[in-house]
Amino acid sequence: MSDLWRLTGHEAHEGLRRREFTAVELTESVLTRVLEVEPQVHAYITVTADVALEQAREADAKYASGTATPLAGIPVAVKDLIVTKGVRTTAGSRILENFVPPYDSHVYEQLRRAGAVMVGKANMDEFAMGSSTEHSAFGPTSNPWDISLVPGGSSGGSAAAVAAGEALVALGSDTGGSIRQPAAFCGVVGLDPTYGRVSRFGIVAFGSSLDQVGPIGRDVEDVAVMLDCIAGHDPRDATSNPEPKPDFRNYLARGIEGMRIGVPKEYFVEGMEPGVRARIDESLRILEQDLGCTVDRELSLPSTEHALAVYYIIAPSEASANLARYDGVKYGFSDRTGNSMWQNMEDTRQGGFGVEVKRRIMLGTYALSAGYYDAYYVKAQKVRTLINREFQAAFERYDLIVTPTAPTVAFPIGAKLDDPYAMYLNDIYTIPASVAGLPAISVPCGESEGLPVGVQFIGNFWQEGKLLQAAYAFETAVGWANRVAEVGGSG
């Protein structure tokens, strides 16, 4: 079999279990695919072929001894802010260009324990700040469906790798939409778990009250398998939920008849492309008529319009504190040409951070400074509470909330680069759930102008099971799942 890279993770696991091919063969197939399309896609900052082949050999031993679990031997792309012992971890930044971590993040430890195979460290916007992966210090990633377009961001490399067959599944991170929006742009499934569901131990921090790690896959089942692997309590992250986690895969085939779905009217405002709107209308029809849900389009979440402003105060404030550690003294890039410690620190940060990161640090420092703290930061926290309350009231009447994932399909590389506000607006539908700490998933729902469109399901706290259940039924009804982008007509 030559096109093993086309398989989903769960299909590959079945094939491995039945000894139709080995994990080494599967990994070689994916690495060949990487060689073939990476010049156009640039999904990775670092390809870890040697690590991958070694892990594949270990996985084959697990299959031979009958101890293989679902991710054994499955090629994974790992976003480059997920710390990996002995493998360079840059967070897309020049300031961490040569940072080789001395320890593993919790999520990578979990993947290793499961026998997964790391293909490489995926490209991303610097420190996860962006919606297009153009803010990577290592150059942009292209959308595998059309390489003149962005893949979304900040987990654009992770989503593009899965869409292009350069990995079967991936890990991304989501602070305000960074898993869901690139998943939508690349025609794959992406889940942002409840805040606290997945440990952030060993994740390069951006906005600590918002950051989450989550899975990306070509179908909902793969996302469930990945979540089962990475979720659960980890005492090394104080925000990690100590409750035992359910078996997420168990939810998939339950059907969703009778589920109550709310559609917030505030989300259907100007700025949404007509083609996206048509796909969302069609999705709601499928949920109601084909799958037997009740769909109420009169849900109102009036504070939604403030969510973007709240996010762009809280996230940069937290970022300005988190990024203070990059001083050129402890680790990473260091400019030592100046004649004083202060000068060296300034030069290191001046030369090590990109323009968007500096913009966020300045925004955050301003919002936290004496005299503005109450007017901006404290006010934003109060509005955050209002947003939470509105969601909680909604979940008394609905099981799930359904919205578009993004107002547009993938846009051209360069189109929004000089207009940060236009770039920020692309996250208008993903940010409210992030601000509230709620879980949300993006699932492909068809195409507009030949490009994938995603629909977002938002659930209440700890309801990832219900999200996956709905997403699985929806995916089956729509029939768009598990498509690989050919990239230049190969295969």
Q: Is residue 360 within 8 Å of residue 316, measured between CB atoms?
A: yes
Distance of CA 66 to the CA centre of its chain: 32
Q: Given candidates 427, 439, 460, 478, which one binds ligand GLN under the rule CB under 6 A? A: 427
Please report whether residue 314 would count as binding ligand GLN according to CB under 6 A: no
Q: Which stretch binds ligand GLN (CB under 6 A): 88-96, 175-183, 251-259, 482-490?
A: 175-183
Please report whether residue 174 would count as binding ligand GLN according to CB under 6 A: yes
Please report whether residue 433 would count as binding ligand GLN according to CB under 6 A: no
The rounded distance, in Å, linking the Cα atoms of 150 and 146 is 8
Residue tagged active-site, from 154, 283, 317, 434: 154
Please report whether residue 154 would count as binding ligand GLN according to CB under 6 A: yes
Of 27 and 178, the one with the shorter C-beta distance to ligand GLN is 178
Please report whether residue 126 would count as binding ligand GLN according to CB under 6 A: no
Per-residue CA distances from 281 to 124, 265, 284, 445, 467 (Å): 31, 13, 5, 10, 19
Please report whether residue 315 would count as binding ligand GLN according to CB under 6 A: yes
Q: Is residue 186 within 8 Å of residue 144, measured between CB atoms?
A: yes
Among this protein's residues, is 154 annotated catalytic? yes
Q: Looking only at Cα atoms, what is the longest distance across the chain?
A: 71
- x-or-dash string of contact with ligand GLN, 187-226, rule CB under 6 A: -------------------x--------------------
Q: Given candidates 15, 130, 437, 465, which one binds ligand GLN under the rule CB under 6 A? A: 130
Residue tagged active-site, from 105, 136, 178, 199: 178
Of 190 and 465, the one with the shorter C-beta distance to ligand GLN is 190
The rounded distance, in Å, linking the Cα atoms of 161 and 170 is 8
The rounded distance, in Å, linking the Cα atoms of 27 and 49 is 9
Per-residue CA distances from 300 to 60, 268, 393, 396, 449 (Å): 52, 11, 10, 13, 30
Q: Given candidates 23, 87, 118, 128, which one binds ligand GLN under the rule CB under 6 A? A: 128
Q: Which stretch binds ligand GLN (CB under 6 A): 170-178, 226-234, 324-332, 480-488?
A: 170-178
Shortest approach of ligand GLN to residue 180 CB, angstroms? 9
Please report whether residue 175 would count as binding ligand GLN according to CB under 6 A: yes
Shortest approach of ligand GLN to residue 334 CB, angstroms? 26
Counts of helices then strands in the chain (DSSP H, E): 15, 11
DSSP state of 206: S
Cβ neighbours for 120, distance < 8 A, ≥ 6 positions apart: 34, 43, 44, 45, 46, 47, 48, 52, 77, 78, 161, 167
Please report whether residue 442 would count as binding ligand GLN according to CB under 6 A: no
Question: Which residues of this chain interact with ligand GLN, rule CB under 6 A?
Answer: 128-131, 154, 174-178, 206, 315, 427
The residues assigned a catalytic role are 79, 154, 178
